Structure 1
C-alpha cells in the first residue's frame, strides 16, 4: 500500500503484460457519493497530458472498483517542499514546477474540466532532474457539460473567497486561486492564510474558521526576499474578486512566468491544447458497468481501514 484517499486505498502493482509499475486506487461504489466517484473517473480519463497522471483503465474486484493509473515514484510536492525548502524553495525551483502545473491546468481547462482541488499533495513528482510534475486526484473535478460549480469543496487552506460567499462560481478562476496558494506555499514553506498563533486556538473548527475569515478578507503577507516580479504574480493570483484575478492565459503572458521558457515550450503547449478533444476517455456506460460488476461482487476481499479518511492541512509544513 502506498497511499490513501477520501474513498479508498492506493496500491502499487505491476501489469502482467509488460511488468510496468502502476498505482491502483480502489474505491467502494457503496461508500460515499457514487455520482462524485463516477464524475472523477469520467473527467480523469479524458486527460492525457505529460503533466497529468494517466488513468489507464478500470478494474472491478469484488466490491471495489480499481482505478489503474500511472505510477509516479517520488512522492508529492508537499513532501518535496519539506525536504528541499529553507523554509521554502528557491524562486528558480518553484517557478520551474509552477510552469509545469500551469501547463497542465491550461490543458485541463481546454478539455472542459476544472479540478477545484489543486494543492501540493495533488502534484506528484518523477525521478527526473529537475522533476516532472504530474497532477492527480480529480475527486472534486467538474466538467463544462455540467452546471456551473456551486459546491463548497476543496481543502480549507486553498478555498477561494468566492466559494464561501457566492451560490455559484467560475471553476477556472477557482483553480487559478489554488495555483496562487500553491506558488506562495512553495516559496514560503507555509500557507498564505495561516498564522503561527493559530495553534493556540482551542479546536480544529476555531483554527479552520480563522483561516477562512482571512481568506474571505484576502489577508496575507508576501514572503520576504522575493523578487518584485514574483510578488506581482502572486498578488495578481490571490485576488479577492475573481473577475480581477488573472486567467490561465494571462499567467502564461506574465513577465515572471515566461522566464527561461523557449519558443519550443510554448509551441509544445499549443500542440497539447490543440490535441485536447472533449469527449475522449471512458464512456459513462463503461464506468457504470464497472460499478455494477463491483456492486454484485462478494464482501470477502481485503478491507481498507483508511477508506473515508480525511486530511485537512491547517498547519505550517514543519508541524
Structure 2
C-alpha cells in the first residue's frame, strides 16, 4: 500500500475541494507530467460495500464500472485509481466548461422540447452503450449528468451505484429515493432495464417541467401524472409510457428511440402558454398575471 501512496503523490497534485458528500469527497487536481486538470475522488473504505475483481485486482465496483465505461463518449473517463489502507482514490477527467444538468435546468428554468430531446437522446444512447459494456448505472438523474456549455454534449458521472447488468431481479437499491420505480417501493425488487426506463422518464419530466413528477412514495406507486398542457401530444405520450406503474408496460430504450417524439424534429415551443399545477414555468407565469 505504501508504494501505491508514493506513486499517487508523485504523479498527482491535489488542490481545492470541489464537492463533499456522504459517500466521498472530490477535489480539483493536476497530473504532474503534463499539468492535465483532473478530478480526484476520495472514498473511505468503510463506505464501500461492493468489491469485485477487475483485471486481477480487487477494486470497488465503481472503479470497475468506470473502466468498463471508459470508451463510451457519454461517460466520464477514469484515468487512474489507487487503493490504500483506509480509502480508494479515483482519478477522473475534469472537462471544462461544464455544469451539472441540475444547475443548468435551474438556470434555464425549464428546457424547451427541442433541447430536452437533444439531451434525452444522448442519455438514451449512453445507456445502451453501458448495457453493451455489461453495466447499468442505476442513478441516472440531473445531478449525475454534466453539460458541456460549448457543445451541449453530456457526460454521465457518479458510478457509485453502478453494477453488472443482469436479466434477473435486483434486490438492492442505492439510488435516489425520489427516482425509485414503484415496484421497488412496493415489492423491494426490480428488473434493471425496466427501472432504468422509469428513471429516464423522471429525468425527461424534470427537464421539461423543472421539478420532480413525484415526491412521496405514495405518489410514485400511483404514478398519477399531472402533465403540463403546453407539452406536445407526442411528448405527453412518451412520458406516460416511461412512467407506467407496470414495468412490463414501459418501452425499452430501443423502443423509445423509435418513438415519434424522439424521431420527429420540432421547433421550440413558447414557454408558459397555459397554466397547470405541476409545471414550474406555468406556476411562475400564472403568478405574474
Q: Output the TM-score relative to the length of structure 1.
A: 0.71
Runs (4+) of structure 1 moved beyond 4 Å? none
Post-superposition Cα deviations, 1:273-303, rounded to whole Å, max 9, x if no partner, equal xxxxxxxxxxxxxxxxxxxxxxxxxxxxxxx
Alignment match of 2:184 (pick from 155, 163, 169): 163
1:243 aligned to 2:248? yes
1:45 aligned to 2:50? no
How far apart are residue 157 of structure 1 and its match? 1.6
- The one of the two structures with greater contact order (alpha-carbon pairs below 8 A, sep at least 6) is 1
How far apart are residue 72 of structure 1 and its match? 3.0
Distance 1:19 1:122, change over 3 A: same
Alignment match of 1:7 (pick from 1, 8, 23): 23
| Equivalent in the alignment of 2:107 | 83
Helix, strand or coil at the partner of 1:153? coil
Is this contact kept in 1: 2:78–2:92, CA < 8 A? yes
Helix, strand or coil at the partner of 2:38? strand
Is this contact kept in 2: 1:113–1:144, CA < 8 A? yes
How far apart are residue 39 of structure 1 and its match? 1.3
| Equivalent in the alignment of 1:26 | 42
- Any residues of structure 2 matched to 1:143-222 within 5 Å, and which? 143-144=164-165, 148-194=169-215, 211-222=216-227
How far apart are residue 145 of structure 1 and its match? 6.1
Distance in 2, Cα, partners of 1:116 & 1:21: 28
| Equivalent in the alignment of 1:259 | 264
Question: Which segments of 5 or more consecutive residues in structure 1 lack a partner in the other structure?
Answer: 195-210, 262-315
Distance in 2, Cα, partners of 1:170 & 1:34: 19
Is this contact kept in 2: 1:60–1:66, CA < 8 A? yes
Alignment match of 1:133 (pick from 148, 154, 164): 154
Distance 1:259 1:24, change over 3 A: farther
Post-superposition Cα deviations, 1:36-78, rounded to whole Å, max 9, x if no partner, equal 9811211221002111111121034673321111213322100
1:68 aligned to 2:73? no
Post-superposition Cα deviations, 1:108-155, rounded to whole Å, max 9, x if no partner, equal 1122211111111000112323x1110011111120369631113321
Distance 1:113 1:165, change over 3 A: same
Distance in 1, Cα, partners of 2:195 & 2:50: 24
Distance in 2, Cα, partners of 1:3 & 1:158: 22
Distance in 2, Cα, partners of 1:180 & 1:137: 19
Q: RMSD in angstroms over aligned alpha carbons? A: 2.4
Report how many aligned residue pairs link the two structures. Answer: 245
Alignment match of 2:136 (pick from 110, 114, 118): 114
Distance in 2, Cα, partners of 1:62 & 1:33: 15
Distance in 2, Cα, partners of 1:6 & 1:181: 24
How far apart are residue 260 of structure 1 and its match? 4.3
Distance in 2, Cα, partners of 1:62 & 1:126: 36
Higher percent of residues as strand? 2
